[in-house]
Structure 1
Amino acid sequence: MFKKTEKVKRDLQEEIRAVTTLKDAEQLKIKYLGRKGIIQDFMKLIPTLPAEQRAAFGQQINALKAEVASFIEEVIEKLSREPVLKVNHEIFDITLPGKLPVTGKKHPLTQTIDDVKEVFARLGFDVVYGPEVELEYYNFEALNIPADHPSRTDFDTFYIKNDILLRSQTSTVQIRIMEKQKPPIRIIAPGKVYRPDTVDARHSFMFHQVEGLLVDEGVSFADLKEVLNQFIKTYFGKDVRMRFRPSFFPFTEPSAEVDISCSLCSGKGCSVCSYSGWVEILGAGMVDPHVFKAVHYDTEKYTGFAFGMGVERITMLKHGISDIRLFYENDIRFLSQF
């Protein structure tokens, strides 16, 4: 029996010399130390020996097992530290130039938000943020939206419970800022908003807005028009035209929707602009006095304007994207173009 255990050691040392991969080392470990391995076969022989030889042989087998385990673990540890030089049995040429890893890029919506923030920073606007889970007061009441307004129903707003909801507009931030700060105020507030819209090429239940607010003494509609003109010319290009159309929003009076000449057809008319040559990009207007009263501003002293734009919409217009769903599908072929 002693000669057999010595032979096992010699065989193991020969096989270890041939091991070049971790896979080979693991197979060798199974061969010698596995449940059906060589060492286990020796253990099965113990009951067949005379009683006076069993203890000595058992000790010999345990010593052999420990020695074999030590040899194999040493080989595994050594291979683990070595760099892998073989893949599919092909040797790497380490003198060749390395391949650069694929690096990530900013999402096109993030790029747009950064561009918008940069433009308005030049105009003196600060960037502020607010919570996405909001109170009904900030989302509706303080913005002069009456209790019977359609936007306050479950069909148009995600309610969490009672008067807690997912904000449906970033206009909530202007109320929170005005509560804490006295004029002059000049801010933009980018962020996500939520509405239970059916997802299609132009709508999503979650999208991004940028809210703008300027409050001071003597602010006029002409100031609003010039600020938006500066933004549109900087972001879309100097050749883009802009127009204001009368509209209605509960928190601004007077209110307007702002259109730009379609960037896809240069104002000639196409399916994107419904062959009108114009595309709406934002809503704006002078802050309604009722909103100022909610934050305890002197309506005789201060005036201001507000505007809100959809980030997805202006990104689609600038880059000629026709389907909003592309922004959220995580298709690397689409995202890598930006």
Structure 2
Amino acid sequence: MLQEQINQHSADIQAFSTDNAEALEQFRIKYLGTKGIVKDLFDAFKQVGPEEKRVLGKVLNEFKQLAEGKHQQLKEALAAPAPHAVKTDADLTLPGEGFTLGSRHPLALVRREITGIFGRLGFTIEEGPEIEDDWHNFSALNFPEEHPARDMQDTFFIRKGGENGDIALRTHTSSVQVRMMEQGKPPFRAIMPGRVYRNEAISARAHCFFHQIEGLYVDENVSFADLKQTLFYFVQELFGEGTKVRFRPSYFPFTEPSAEMDISCTICKGSGCQLCKQSGWVEILGCGMVDPNVLENCGIDSKKYSGFAFGMGIERIANLKFVIRDLRLFSENDVRFLKQYTAALI
């Protein structure tokens, strides 16, 4: 008789479910209250014989645990917040929180603008490794053995000497030009953007790493006039029409003849200021005709082909466009500095 009651009540407990706190409280009183079913069954258990107690004692304890467990389960379910619950006291008419716009780094903005200009001239983009061997970084580019760039005071060497020669962080992206010429056949028309490394003291005007964009054009009958016209177009597109240009003779191991190109100062418009050191001119890049030795080192017939090359620092261009006077700002990740360039995305 007692066993049947326990079985019936157990079935009722298992079938019971509610999402109402008041109904749950009635369940607790009915089964677990001081006058509840569990207490009544334990009182009835006292009246059964010893043989039945051995069997019903375990069953009755399990029944009590079933009632307590069901109550606790439903209580926790009621206490848990509903998924995607909306606060009843929230004012749904208020405007939502806006999303903060990210901002491109000023160097990324300048690089994108420069690559876009040369892209319109038919230049492709080439990239290469930042860790280079002596051949691609120095020897193929006509650097003599005694050149100061090969000195540890100027270059970050990873391994100096050894069976396979020097291994260093590249000092310019000209190494990408060498790899491109070794692996292909003229004509070449490409620019090489990337990070380079020099062993220099960090200051407002210099850093141990910076970014370059170099360019190379190799074909038949390429002349210095082609170089000048290409760079003149680039300057007018980047800094605006009316920007003056001048070329000054210079020296680079991998070009001959070589030149440095100046533009009229974008800050003072040529009248003289601190940026241009009162000269009215600012140097922005080096350039020249590719030395025949470099072409021959890369397996290109220098009697049939000629070419020009140029290289500029992206930081220098960014300084002029955004009037940034401290190179360290580019790598300090100061959010206050970077936020100024959010508008460039809109």
Deviation at 1:197, TM superposition (A): 1.6
**SS at 1:213 equivalent:** strand
- Name the counterpart of 1:151: 149
- Name the counterpart of 2:48: none
- Name the counterpart of 1:160: 158
> For residues 5-44 of structure 1, what are the structure 2 equivalents within 5 Å?
none
- Name the counterpart of 1:123: 121
TM-score calculated relative to the size of structure 2: 0.77
2:87 to 85, 88, 102: 85
2:258 to 255, 259, 269: 255
Deviation at 1:97, TM superposition (A): 2.9
How has the CA–CA distance of structure 1 residues 145 and 97 changed in structure 2, closer, same or farther, with 3 Å as cutoff? same
State which drifts further: 323-332 or 260-269: 323-332
- Name the counterpart of 2:201: 198
Q: Distance in 2 between matches of 1:188 and 1:276?
A: 30
- Name the counterpart of 2:10: none
Deviation at 1:85, TM superposition (A): 3.2
State which drifts further: 210-219 or 128-137: 128-137
**SS at 1:131 equivalent:** coil
Q: Distance in 1 between matches of 2:58 and 2:241?
A: 96
- Name the counterpart of 1:241: 244
Q: Distance in 1 between matches of 2:86 and 2:329?
A: 39
> For residues 300-315 of structure 1, what are the structure 2 equivalents within 5 Å?
300-315=303-318
Q: Distance in 1 between matches of 2:147 and 2:78?
A: 75
- Name the counterpart of 1:283: 286
2:229 to 211, 226, 241: 226
How has the CA–CA distance of structure 1 residues 213 and 95 changed in structure 2, closer, same or farther, with 3 Å as cutoff? same
State which drifts further: 328-337 or 123-132: 328-337
Q: Deviations over 1:115-153 (max 9, x none)?
A: 111101111111111111211210111111122211112
Q: Distance in 2 between matches of 1:61 and 1:155?
A: 84
Q: Which runs of 5+ in 2 are unaligned?
A: 1-20, 26-53, 161-165, 342-346
TM-score calculated relative to the size of structure 1: 0.78
Q: Distance in 2 between matches of 1:331 and 1:211?
A: 28
**SS at 1:336 equivalent:** helix
Deviation at 1:60, TM superposition (A): 7.2
Deviation at 1:293, TM superposition (A): 1.1
Deviation at 1:67, TM superposition (A): 3.6
**SS at 2:283 equivalent:** strand
**SS at 1:96 equivalent:** coil
Q: Deviations over 1:178-212 (max 9, x none)?
A: 01111111100111111122111111112110010
AA aligned opposite 1:271: Q
How has the CA–CA distance of structure 1 residues 196 and 66 changed in structure 2, closer, same or farther, with 3 Å as cutoff? farther
Q: Distance in 1 between matches of 2:281 and 2:132?
A: 34
- Name the counterpart of 1:183: 186
Q: Which runs of 5+ in 1 are unaligned?
A: 1-12, 18-51
Where has structure 1 moved over 6 Å in runs of 4 or more? 54-58
**SS at 2:218 equivalent:** strand
**SS at 1:304 equivalent:** strand
Paired-residue identity, %: 49
Q: Distance in 1 between matches of 2:115 and 2:131?
A: 23
**SS at 2:247 equivalent:** strand
Deviation at 1:71, TM superposition (A): 3.1
Q: Distance in 1 between matches of 2:285 and 2:105?
A: 22
Q: Deviations over 1:141-175 (max 9, x none)?
A: 11111222111122211122242221110001100
**SS at 2:200 equivalent:** coil
Q: Distance in 2 between matches of 1:230 and 1:211?
A: 16
Q: How many residue pairs align between the two structures?
A: 290
Q: Distance in 1 between matches of 2:158 and 2:324?
A: 33
Q: Distance in 1 between matches of 2:71 and 2:200?
A: 68
AA aligned opposite 1:327: F
**SS at 1:256 equivalent:** strand
Deviation at 1:334, TM superposition (A): 1.9
1:142 to 120, 140, 143: 140
**SS at 1:230 equivalent:** helix
Q: Distance in 2 between matches of 1:189 and 1:73?
A: 63
Deviation at 1:101, TM superposition (A): 0.5
Give the root-mean-square deviation of aligned CA atoms.
2.6
> For residues 292-331 of structure 1, what are the structure 2 equivalents within 5 Å?
292-331=295-334
Deviation at 1:272, TM superposition (A): 1.2
AA aligned opposite 2:159: K
Q: Deviations over 1:44-85 (max 9, x none)?
A: xxxxxxxx9x979975775466345523542465x1513453
